[in-house]
A and B are shown apart, each in its own frame.
Chain A
Amino acid sequence: MSPLKIKKGATSHSAYNLRPTFSDVVERHTLAVLVENEPGVLARVIGLFSGRGYNIDSLTVAEVDHTGHLSRITIVTSGTPQVIEQIKAQLGRIVSVHDVHDLTVEGASVERELAMFKVSGTGEKRVEALRLADIFRASVVDSTLESFIFEITGAPDKIDAFAELMRPLGLTDVARTGVAALSRGE
């Protein structure tokens, strides 16, 4: 599926869904923002979050349509329903933003993240790390006599769990890409 295949008109049921559903519970939402790939567009999006005091839990950005000059920013944010609605509306009014989709409410979606873990150790710990990596389907992408670099892809929860297991085994460095997400089906 092309990364740009998003249901037509989905926006009118998400970003501009103006019927309040007010509650004070903080929710975590994954937003897909299609933007013009032009200088400063990321600064506009980030500036909006910092200027208005919204949270960014994770953010990824890359060009997804070279000919159309479109980039896709995937933002994981958290806030009360009112704040989430406001974030979507504020994103929607940035001129370089073409579309805002709330993947959390627009039906099922798939979220993946890639991470690399450097684990240093010798002896039994080293063997254990390798064994756990196998269970988590993490692959070894680099190795020295005292360290491994594992690559793991999956939902953020799975990566968190893997990080917890690696910590006592000599975890020294972590690099995570942040969440990339797509809605399921057509």
Chain B
Amino acid sequence: MTRQMSGAKMIVQALIDQGVDTVFGYPGGAVLPIYDEVFQQNAIRHILVRHEQGAVHAAEGYARATGKPGVVLVTSGPGATNAVTGLTDALMDSIPIIVLTGQVPTFMIGSDAFQEADTVGITRPCTKHNWLVKETDALSGVLHEAFHVATHGRPGPVLVDIPKDVQFATGTYTPPKPSVSHYQPKVKGDMEEITELVAAIEKAKKPVFYTGGGVINSGPAASQLLRELVKSTGFPITSTLMGLGCYPASGENWLGMLGMHGLYQANMAMHDCDLLINIGARFDDRITGRIDAFSPKSTKAHIDIDPSSINKVIKTDIPIVGDVGHVLEDILKVWKSRGRQTNSEALTKWWAQIEEWKKVDCLKFTQKGKIIKPQHALVRLEELTKKYDRYICTEVGQHQMWAAQYLGFEDPNRWMTSGGLGTMGYGFPASIGVQMAHPDALVINVAGEASWLMNMQEMGTAVQYRLPVKQFILNNERLGMVRQWQELLHGERYSQSWSEALPDFVKLADAFGAKGILCSDPDDLDDAIMEMITHDGPVIFDCLVEKHENCFPMIPSGKAHNEMLLGEASTQGVIDSKGSVLV
């Protein structure tokens, strides 16, 4: 039913009709009419962040933890430019978010008006699509299309820029209608290719599933189908950083994460396999290492909803364009109808080999003395929190890799981390978004002190909305990953990679009206973690850890999967001049 209303009211109405319950935002001159409408309703909660970047990351956290799109409302000019990092982050990690920005009135566009920026121009390369709406009558259609585009095909961020006069003017509101959009990406895979993959599965001697964030984006059903496929074929499975949780870490066939800081057995299996089945991952450079030495003996199948992912980096033998859930369903159907065959004799040998690799125990470390090893802190955190309804966010750096290595994820949508863009400052606001979506869950942000400081202003948000997010900071007073690379690559010249004048985190928590916990003794660690978990409110946990710990295993830049570094032994000069230009 169409109705007459103001543009500002349309925005709220469209959000309600799209099933939105939470909006993260920050008001300003160019969005005042929208905020006036937000004030006059109760259907949508508005979370006032402290910085627009925080709003976008919070929306990302919300989206990842629920599978629903996250929504952001910010003003023109600086409000929009502050959202750019979050938009790029969401684009790289394929997270559906809708960012609504105010704009100066249409008659002032181009006049360098106060708080004017070319928002659609600036955000064109960092959104999946964006719109500048110049007529109120077009507004509701564009908003519904924005939700459609953000959530269909490969998900991603979209932005709608709305001039202030469009918000004030009255126009016709149309409710959402299914499939009016010409944007209808293909979700069913080609049956010929699927049959070819099934034939390869039947013959494979050394297969491995290499899964990624696409499985999680496809929805919980895709994870279930994946588990069924893994269980019934008996193939080993590894995952990218983005895909953790699509197969349970306690599962029998789990090899652990692969890639630059992945597990030895996972990377060795990738290197030696004869059938590599990529499900919803994109052969990122953190995964492949040296391209010409990547999985040299394998037939490569690649399932991806985005045709541009296929053959972008690695030549694919069996390309399947489609949604992971739909394709997995078809694979199972065809494989079952052909008699559920696998080469079980060869698989037994393959597993024996994998067990040999597992014996290397690449995550082994020794906690001794009075200084907490960061790995130990995470092992304890895992032990003490795994039975909770738990969600983990991270910032970016060594702590992120350790969290991926030492924490176990049993289900999808439980792990929120900035993978593609590697955005320091992501985790804290993301944890706020997750806690909004799951008020009763235990939400922990595993952080480094340097990353955490990048968006620490969101402490105000956490306290204001009484969000009991736990900020678990592994404090080494260093930019740990930068320091590690400087040690390995730049002759131990630690240029600008230590943090001086760090705040007293306990006092900082106190200043915000939250709880602070300091822990520096391994003997106190368990009690301190329990104190953090049981406190009903936001906590900053300052865990003082070993300052010079390096993150291993590591595939040095420019090296192949079977050239991993396993520990402190001989790390000097391992990266040659060719590898050193890589990041």
* Chain A residues in the interface with B (C-beta under 8 A): 15-16, 18-20, 22, 36, 39-40, 43-44, 47, 51, 82, 85-86, 89-90, 92-96, 98
The answer to whether A39 and B311 have CB atoms under 8 Å apart is no
290-310 of chain B: CB within 8 A of chain A: 306-308, 310
> B residues within 8 A CB of A94?
129
Contact call B306/A82, Cβ cutoff below 8 A: no
Contact of B316 among A20, A51, A86 (CB under 8 A): A20
Residue of A nearest to B302 (CB): A18
B128 lies within 8 A of chain A by Cβ:
yes
Question: Pick the contact of A95 from B129, B132, B307, B310 — CB < 8 Å?
Answer: B129
Beyond A40-B124, A85-B311, A93-B153, list 13 extra A-B contacts (CB 8 Å).
Answer: A18-B310, A18-B316, A20-B311, A20-B315, A22-B315, A47-B125, A51-B125, A89-B307, A89-B310, A89-B312, A95-B128, A96-B129, A98-B182
Contacts of B308 in A (CB 8 A): 86, 89-90, 92-93
In the complex the two chains form, is A95's CB within 8 Å of B149's CB? yes
Q: Which 4 residue pairs are nearest across A and B when measured between Cβ atoms?
A: A89-B308, A18-B319, A95-B129, A89-B307
Bound Cα distance A124, B319 (Å): 64
Complex: chain A residue closest to B153, CB-CB: A93
Q: A61 to chain B: closest CB distance in Å?
A: 17
Q: How far is the CA of A44 from the CA of B123 in the complex (A)?
A: 11
Complex contact A44–B316 (CB within 8 A): no
The one of B124, B310, B312, B315 that contacts A47, using a Cβ cutoff of 8 Å: B124
> Which residues in chain B, 302-330, are within 8 Å of chain A measured between CB atoms?
306-308, 310-312, 315-316, 319, 321
In the bound complex, do residue A18 and residue B307 qualify as a contact, i.e. CB atoms below 8 Å apart? Answer: yes
User: Number of contacts between A and B (CB, 8 Å)?
Assistant: 51
For residue B310, which residues in chain A have a CB less than 8 angstroms away from its CB?
Answer: 18, 89
CB contacts (< 8 Å) of A18 on chain B: these are 307, 310-311, 316, 319, 321
Contact indicator per residue, chain B 83-127, by CB within 8 Å of chain A (1) or not (0) = 000000000000000000000000000000000000011001100
| Interchain CB contact under 8 A, B306 and A43 | no
CA distance A19 to B132 in the complex (A): 38
Which residue among A19, A36, A39, A89 has the maximum number of chain B CB atoms within 10 Å of its CB? A89
Q: Is B154 an interface residue (CB 8 A)?
A: yes
- B183 adjacent to chain A (CB < 8 Å): yes
Contact check, B121 vs A43: say whether CB atoms are below 8 A apart.
Answer: yes
Known: A43-B124, A98-B182. A92 touches B307 (CB 8 A): yes
The reply to whether A93 and B307 contact each other, CB–CB distance below 8 Å, is yes
Contacts A/B (CB < 8 Å), 16 sampled: A15-B307, A16-B307, A16-B321, A18-B310, A18-B319, A19-B319, A22-B315, A40-B120, A43-B124, A47-B124, A47-B125, A51-B125, A85-B311, A89-B306, A89-B310, A98-B182
Q: Which residues of A contact B316 (CB under 8 A)?
A: 18, 20
Q: What residue of chain A has the Cβ atom nearest to residue B311's Cβ?
A: A20
A15 CA to B128 CA, complexed, in Å: 19
State A78–B250 Cα separation when bound (angstroms): 49
Q: Determine the chain A residues whose CB is within 8 A of the CB of B125 once the complex forms.
A: 47, 51
Q: Which chain B residue lies CB-closest to A92? A: B307
Separation of A98 and B120 alpha carbons in the complex (Å): 21
- The CB with the most chain A CB atoms within 10 A, among B120, B154, B311, B321, is that of B311
Which residues of B sit under 8 angstroms from A40, Cβ to Cβ? 120-121, 124, 132
Residues of B within 8 A of A20 (CB): 311, 315-316
CA distance A47 to B132 in the complex (A): 17
Contacts of B154 in A (CB 8 A): 93
Contact A82 B311 (CB under 8 A): yes
Q: Bound complex: CA of A32 vs CA of B120, how far in Å?
A: 25
What is the bound-complex CA distance between A22 and B316, given in angstroms?
A: 11
- Say yes or no: B124 contacts A39, CB within 8 Å: no
CB-CB under 8 A from A43, the residues of chain B are: 121, 124
**B145's closest neighbor in chain A, by CB?**
A95
Known contacts A40-B120, A40-B124; is-contact A86 B183 (Cβ 8 Å): no
How far is B129's CA from A166's CA once the two chains are assembled, in angstroms? 46
Task: Provide the residues of chain B in CB contact with A98, threshold 8 Å.
Answer: 182
Instruction: List the B side residues contacting A39 at CB < 8 Å.
Output: 132
Q: How many angstroms from the CA of A47 to the CA of B118 in the assembled complex?
A: 15
- Residues of A with C-beta under 8 A to B120: 40
CA distance A44 to B132 in the complex (A): 14
Residue of A whose beta carbon sits closest to that of B154: A93
Q: Which residues of B contact A85 (CB under 8 A)?
A: 311
Which residues does chain B contribute within 8 Å of A96, judged by CB atoms?
129
| B312 contact from A36, A51, A86, Cβ within 8 A | A86
> How far apart are A2's CB and chain B's nearest CB, in angstroms?
19
- With the chains together, A93 CA to B94 CA distance in Å? 13
CB-contact partner of B183 in A16, A44, A95, under 8 A: A95
> Please, which residues of chain B bring their CB within 8 A of the CB of A95?
128-129, 149, 183
B153 contact set on A, CB distance < 8 A = 93
CB distance from A15 to the nearest CB of B (A): 7
With both beta carbons as reference points, the residue of chain A lying nearest to B317 in the complex is identified as A20
A96 to B310, CA, bound (A): 21
CA distance A86 to B149 in the complex (A): 21
Known contacts A15-B307, A90-B308: A44-B124 contact under CB 8 Å: yes
Alpha-carbon separation in the docked complex, A19 to B318 (Å): 8
| Residues in A whose Cβ lies below 8 Å from that of B315 | 20, 22
Residues of chain B within 8 A of A19, CB atoms compared: 319
Residues of B within 8 A of A82 (CB): 311
- Most chain A CB inside 10 Å of its own CB: which residue of B121, B154, B310, B316: B310
* Chain B residue with Cβ nearest A93: B308
A34 to B: closest C-beta gap in Å? 11
Q: How far is the CB of B365 from chain A (nearest CB, A)?
A: 41
Taking the closest CB of chain B, its distance from the CB of A4, in whole angstroms, is 14
For the complex, what is the distance from the CA of A18 to the CA of B322, rounded to whole Å? 13
Which residue in chain A gives the minimum CB-CB distance to B318?
Answer: A18
Q: How far is the CB of A149 from chain B (nearest CB, A)?
A: 35
Distance (whole angstroms) from the CB of B305 to the closest CB of chain A: 10
A86 touches B311 (CB 8 A): yes
C-alpha gap A19/B153 in the complex (Å): 21
CB within 8 Å of A: which of B132-170? 132, 149, 153-154
A86 to B306, CA, bound (A): 11
Interface digits, B183-227 against A, CB 8 Å rule (1 contact, 0 not)? 100000000000000000000000000000000000000000000
A19 to B311, CA, bound (A): 9
Question: How far, in Å, is B322 (CB) from chain A's closest CB?
Answer: 11
CA distance A20 to B311 in the complex (A): 7
A152–B111 CA distance with the chains assembled, in angstroms: 41
